[in-house]
């Protein structure tokens, strides 16, 4: 009898450990995505590691711009000053005619405050931006929200202009797990293609052709 009781206790214990007893689960609790205003900027962020060129490949909500390129760098005047140059095409039919707007922020204050205050050149709105996650060399998840929290945005940046759909989908799904400004299914893909690049050769060839024609006409006239 005592042996049977001992076996029963052992079976129950093993069942609890394996999660097979009703009401038990080995799955971790689901994460509730947070708004940008409630999210925390990376505590160990190295803003200097973000220097260089980034390309915006997806955002939510959608916006009427393409070829969005963000260049970040330090200032020769102060180690605290960081410049942000945003270049974009507002005309979807003329992608290589870009607009560039330059801004700066204080690196020390941004780290202390947990956000970066920048003017959104595209939507004409001041946002408090937070770098939520980045590996510095491949991707960055950035969100922004207005001071009165009336609107917010989610942005995915990559170091390369062209990313395939599978990789982008994985990034969107990863960000959507923790942050409500991102979506695994409905983020707006920013146009990034060959039309975004202003080719020096493309503008030089017509000029050379014109110059050759003028020289040829002048020679005929002189002869």
Which CATH number do you get for residue 72?
Answer: 2.40.128.20
Tokens coding 35: 């708004």
pLDDT higher at 60 or 93:
60
What was the pLDDT predicted at 216?
Answer: 44
pLDDT at residue 195 above 50?
A: yes
Q: Which pTM does this prediction carry? A: 0.74
Q: Considering only CA atoms, give the Rg of the chain.
A: 27
Residue 25 maps to a domain: no
Tokens of 29: 């609790």
Asked whether residue 126 is assigned to any structural domain, the reply reads: yes
Does residue 203 come out as left (phi exceeding 0), alpha (psi in the -120 to 50 range) or beta?
Answer: alpha
Cβ proximity of 129 and 43 under 8 Å: no
Domain-located, residue 164 = yes
- What's the pLDDT tens digit per position in 166-181? 999 999 999 999 999 9
pLDDT of residue 135: 96
Band of pLDDT at residue 30, cut at 50, 70 and 90: low
pLDDT tens digits for range 140-154: 999 999 988 889 999
Q: Is residue 128 part of a domain?
A: yes
Tokens 């979506």 correspond to 183
Reference 69, options 21, 104, 24, 101; nearest CA is 101
Helix (H) or strand (E) holding 157: strand 152-158
In a domain, 54, yes or no: yes
State how far the Cα of 157 lies from the Cα of 104, in Å rounded to an integer.
19
Q: For the chain, give the percent of residues with pLDDT over 70.
A: 72
DSSP label at residue 190: P
Q: Between 82 and 205, name the one with better pLDDT.
A: 82
Residue 213 lies in a domain: no
Into how many domains does the chain fold? Answer: 1
- In this prediction, residues 56-85 reach a mean pLDDT of 92
Residues 63 and 167 sit within 8 Å (Cβ to Cβ): no
Q: What is the mean pLDDT of the chain?
A: 79
Kindly state whether residue 51 falls inside one of the protein's structural domains: yes
216 in a domain, yes or no? no
**What integer pLDDT is reported at residue 160 of this predicted model?**
97
Range of the domain at 191: 47-196
More confident residue, 92 or 192: 192
What's phi and psi for 210, nearest 5 deg?
-65, -45
């Amino acid at each position: 009898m005592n042996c049977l009781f001992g076996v029963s206790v052992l079976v129950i214990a093993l069942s609890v450990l394996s999660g097979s007893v009703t009401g038990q689960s080995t799955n971790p609790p689901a994460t509730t995505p947070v708004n940008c205003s409630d999210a925390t900027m990376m505590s160990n962020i190295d803003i200097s590691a973000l220097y260089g060129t980034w390309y915006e490949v997806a955002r939510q909500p959608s916006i009427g711009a393409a070829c969005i390129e963000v260049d970040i760098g330090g200032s020769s005047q102060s180690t605290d000053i960081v410049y942000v140059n945003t270049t974009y095409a507002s005309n979807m039919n003329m992608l290589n005619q870009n607009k560039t707007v330059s801004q700066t922020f204080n690196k020390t204050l941004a780290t202390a405050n947990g956000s970066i205050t920048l003017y959104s050149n595209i939507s004409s709105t001041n946002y408090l931006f937070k770098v939520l996650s980045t590996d510095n060399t491949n991707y960055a998840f950035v969100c922004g929200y207005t001071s009165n929290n009336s609107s917010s945005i989610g942005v995915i940046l990559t170091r390369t202009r062209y990313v395939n759909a599978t990789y982008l989908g994985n990034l969107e799904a990863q960000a959507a797990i923790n942050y409500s400004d991102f979506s695994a299914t409905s983020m707006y893909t920013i146009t990034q293609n060959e039309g975004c690049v202003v080719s020096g050769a493309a503008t030089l060839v017509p000029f050379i052709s014109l110059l050759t024609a003028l020289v040829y006409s002048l020679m005929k006239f002189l002869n």
